[in-house]
């Protein structure tokens, strides 16, 4: 009769969706993580950070009527609200995905 181990089988890279997941698994297996002493407090703190990170703030600004009309037309073609399109453009510009064309 063969002896069966109670430990989970050693996982391979192909068992994970990403390289990062596999590296985290290996780090955990090698004891590279430090246990949290008060997990409930830490969880609550991290949840608060997450909630505050994703908050939206209403903003009012003046724009040319023609620009808003063009924005609404583009949003309509894309099937999204124009506010969503405007938020996306601002986010992409701030994150560096959209660049300002400074050529004369």
pLDDT tens string 42-65: 999 989 888 888 778 889 999 999
What local confidence, expressed as pLDDT, does residue 37 receive?
A: 87
What local confidence, expressed as pLDDT, does residue 3 receive?
A: 54
What is the pTM (predicted TM-score) of this model? 0.48
Query: Which whole number is the average pLDDT over 71-97?
Result: 93
| Burial track 35-60 (b if 16+ CB lie within 10 A, e otherwise) | eeeeeeeeeeeeeeeeeeeeeeeeee
For 13-46, write each residue's pLDDT tens digit: 888 888 999 888 888 888 888 888 899 999 999 8
Measured N-to-C along each axis, helices 82-94 and 65-78 cross at an angle, to the nearest 10 degrees, of 100
């Amino acid at each position: 009769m063969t002896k069966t181990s109670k430990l989970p089988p050693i996982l391979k890279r192909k068992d994970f969706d990403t390289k990062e997941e596999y590296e985290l698994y290996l780090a955990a297996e090698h004891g590279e993580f430090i246990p949290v002493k008060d997990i409930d407090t830490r969880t609550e703190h991290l949840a608060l950070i997450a909630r505050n990170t994703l908050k939206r703030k209403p903003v009012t600004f003046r724009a040319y009527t023609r620009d808003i009309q063009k924005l609404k037309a583009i949003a309509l073609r894309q099937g999204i609200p124009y506010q969503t399109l405007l938020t996306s453009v601002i986010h992409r510009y701030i994150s560096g995905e959209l660049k300002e064309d400074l050529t004369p």
